[in-house]
Amino acid sequence: LSDPSTFASAIEGADRIFLGHPESGFEAKELQQAFFDTVAAVKPSPPFVVKFVAAFSSDFLAKMAKHTPLLHYGIQNNADIINDFKAKHGSKHVAVVEARSWFMQNYVAEFKEMVAAGCLMSGSEDACLPRIDSRDIADAALACLQDPAKHGGQVYNLTGGELYQESEIAAKLSKATGRAVAYSPDPTPLKPIFEPIKIDGGLTMWDIMSDLWNLEKMTRDLNEPLQPKVFEELTGQKYRSFDAFIAENLDHWSVAEKGKSVSA
């Protein structure tokens, strides 16, 4: 999704589309705008789009612009473009699945090296934060896709079903993996691990992790209430638990590269 000339052929014949959280180049506002313009141009009627967004209040986004510009850029673009699409083409053609929770999958992706190093970094000051399995987001999106007439114009806020402190997650991972994992409020011990990892735009993984640390620092006071009924009524099922997620993913941590241990 980095070449607008391919958008029309990519969605040809599709009557329903799911767009997840943008990755790398697709975060660029002009690319997202071009994609939604292509969708809107389909005749006789645009396909039904279910869009996932990481949603925050306008006040919180203002803080993100100052303290976590990398993350703010993609999230704000999502909101602006969806609102523009609704205004031009009607809300019935799009449903939004939003979440303000931290993904469980982070612990087998970006945070995998932290588990291997035995140190979970978090700027949350060990506050209780909501956690969600990304497969629950997919299930919610599927429910919307299956009934456009019912869900068009709706916004569903997915909170996840559990609140955890980072220290609690560290303890769970330690017990499950047999690897000593501790919570650290200070990210600097992990800089040698993430700074050598290069990503797009001349950035390093340390740049992203620093943004995440600052984001966690801001989210510690959000106190987002859990709303399990929204998900249950939409999908007919309960949120997946963190314990179940750990049990399903033990192989990820057992084969994680063992880096040098760092003190928390």
Q: Is 175 helix (H, G, I), strand (E, B) or coil?
A: helix
Rg (CA), the chain: 19
The pLDDT score that the predictor gives to residue 161 is: 93
Instruction: Count CA atoms closer than 13 A to 184's CA, side-chain side.
Output: 21
Cβ-contact 90, 43 below 8 angstroms:
no
Residue type, 185: P
* Strand bridging mode 129-132 / 162-164: antiparallel
In contact, 126 and 78? CB cutoff 8 Å: no
Query: In angstroms, what CA-CA distances link 51 with 3, 20, 40, 44, 206?
Result: 20, 6, 14, 21, 28
Alpha-helical segments (H) within 25-68 = 29-40, 58-67
pLDDT on residue 72: 47
Q: Is 109 exposed, middle or buried (0-12, 13-18, 19+ CB in 10 A)?
A: exposed
Mean pLDDT of the chain: 79
Rounded CA gap, 230 and 234, in Å? 6
User: 179, 115 in Cβ contact below 8 A?
Assistant: yes
Determine the 3-state secondary structure of 130 from DSSP: strand
- In 3-state terms, what secondary structure has residue 243? helix
Whose structure tokens read 């497969």? 135
User: Would the pLDDT of 166 be above 70?
Assistant: yes
Q: Are 107 and 115 in contact (CB under 8 A)?
A: yes
pLDDT, tens digit, for every residue of 200-252? 667 787 877 777 776 666 666 556 678 899 999 999 999 999 999 999 999 88
* C-alpha distance across the termini of the chain, in Å: 40
The DSSP output letter for 198 is B
| DSSP label at residue 162 | E
pTM more than 0.95: no
Q: Does pLDDT of 7 surpass 70?
A: yes
